Amino acid sequence: MPAKKKHPDKPLTGAALIAETCRRIRVARSYWESHNNRACRGEREKALILYESLSEAEREKVPQVLRVWLRYRSEKYFGDDRTPPGGGR
* Domain extent listing, the chain: 14-76
pLDDT digits (tens, 9 = 90+) for 7-47: 655 677 778 889 999 999 999 999 988 988 888 888 999 99
Percent of the chain with pLDDT over 70: 70
Helix axes 64-76, 37-53, angle to 10 degrees: 120
User: What pLDDT shows up at residue 83?
Assistant: 63
CA nearest 72: which of 48, 38, 36? 48
Q: Given pLDDT bands bounded at 50, 70 and 90, which one contains residue 87?
A: low
